Amino acid sequence: MIDRRNTRQIHVGSIPVGGGAEVTVQSMTTTKTADVDGTLAQVYALTGAGADIVRITCNDVAAAQGLAEIVPRSPVPIVADIHFQYKLALAALEAGVHALRLNPGNIRNEAHIKEVARAAGERGVPIRIGVNGGSLDKDLLAKYGSAVPEALVESAQTEIRYLEDVGFHDIKISVKHSHVPTMVESYRLLSERVDYPLHLGVTEAGPPPGGLIKSVAGIATLLLEGIGDTIRFSLTADPVEEAKAGRQLLEYLGLRDRAGLDLIACPSCGRAEVDVIEVAGEAQRRLEEANLPIQVAVMGCVVNGPGEAREADIGIAAGRGKGHLFIKGHVVRVVPEAEMVDALLDEAQKLLDEGVEARLAAADGIAEQLAAEAAEELLQIQGDANHAQDRRARVAEIAKSE
């Protein structure tokens, strides 16, 4: 169980952030904001992929005007992303956005920042202080020599003071960097100094798979330490992939209930009776299309498969031309190998509709026996296919040698 850091709570529209609320997923549109229909289509796609909040650029007057049409039609709260021009923040507020993101590295005039804060306060709209290692204030770069954690945190704290000076406290903060260790240390340092909710992300992470790996490395490290209230994967990819990845990460860490498929599969070995990669790929594609929020296991053989994957909701294991379908480790059906994925999809839907106990009660009475017989037959034919006994003996010999 993750012991989460206690923070203040703000609301982005109807979505609570911080203060014990569940960690939320954010992403950002890549369309031109003036293209209202195109942007809304992407907002809906992001929402369907798991985004709770969506950020949209407000970089010119046409974009601000687009927001005025987008916000009332959006299924989720909208954050306006503001750089350089503080008046666009005021325009975005007039357009009805649910939150602002300000970059202290390029909106530096204290009077302008306070004017935005007053206007946001009047409307009950929170502000994210979005510090970024790639656009850090030049004075801080001169002071510290580079975008080190202390520089990012000082930037955030200076902006906090500006907002607090006018009585504004609906704040969340990010201190993003493209270098994962620097990002992690920046958030750790910030979490020791403030109690505002934190927005996590590795900025400019790049395309998958590297961008995914960097994002998970940074974001998951902090979440496991209890740091972080909302997250965004910054990938050079379709933003739908950002939302999917963010949602999956929270589910895998136990920070959100499962809303999508969690497919696990063995890496294959000498006992595998089928092409595990091919079967797992087909199963994942079809189960995702069916939008089933379930944990599924695809195992290469019936000798160890049902036992090793007994914690999965449902699974399938191959053996002697058959597919052995199991629920929570109990084999319930045996089907021809060619029908493995069809049977898995069918049983998964029934499991969700009827529940575990009902499906176990409906199990084929001889399925467990057939699975045991197939496992024994494989053992007789293959013997020690993975050479485990020989390896155990050699390991013991090495460990006992002087």
**Tens of pLDDT along 256-290?**
998 888 888 877 776 666 788 888 899 999 998 99
According to DSSP, the β-strands at 314-319 and 322-327 are: antiparallel
Same domain, 202 and 282: no
Domain boundary residue among 213, 232, 252?
252
- For residue 388, the model assigns a pLDDT of 63
Q: Is pLDDT above 80 for 385?
A: no
Adjacent-strand bridge partners of 319: 322
Question: Which CATH number is 108's domain given?
Answer: 3.20.20.20
- Report the run of H or E that residue 247 belongs to, with start and end: helix 239-252
Same domain, 211 and 66: yes
Mean pLDDT of the chain: 91
The structural domain count of the chain equals: 2
Q: Is residue 204 part of a domain?
A: yes
50 — alpha (psi -120 to 50), left (phi > 0) or beta?
left
What span, in angstroms and rounded, lies between the C-alpha atoms of 202 and 130? 12
- For residue 120, the model assigns a pLDDT of 98
**Tens of pLDDT along 128-154?**
999 999 999 999 999 999 999 999 999
Same domain, 246 and 303: no
Same domain, 139 and 78: yes
Same domain, 277 and 351: yes
Same domain, 127 and 89: yes
Structure token digits, residue 122 = 């009047």
CB 205 within 8 A of CB 235: yes
Q: Is residue 388 part of a domain?
A: no
**Tens of pLDDT along 56-68?**
999 999 999 999 9
Same domain, 243 and 279: no
Question: Which CATH number is 362's domain given?
Answer: 3.30.413.10
Same domain, 244 and 310: no
**Tens of pLDDT along 281-321?**
999 999 989 988 888 988 887 777 787 778 889 998 887 78
- For residue 305, the model assigns a pLDDT of 74
Query: For residue 44, what are the domain limits?
Result: 10-252
- For residue 302, the model assigns a pLDDT of 77
For residue 386, name the pLDDT band (cuts at 50, 70, 90).
low
The pTM for the full model equals 0.83
Residue-wise burial string across 363-374, b where 16 or more C-beta atoms lie within 10 A, e elsewhere: beeebbebbeeb
Q: Is residue 111 part of a domain?
A: yes
Task: Quote the crossing angle between the two packed helices 180-193 and 210-224, to the nearest 10°.
Answer: 30
Same domain, 26 and 138: yes
Q: Is pLDDT above 80 for 218?
A: yes
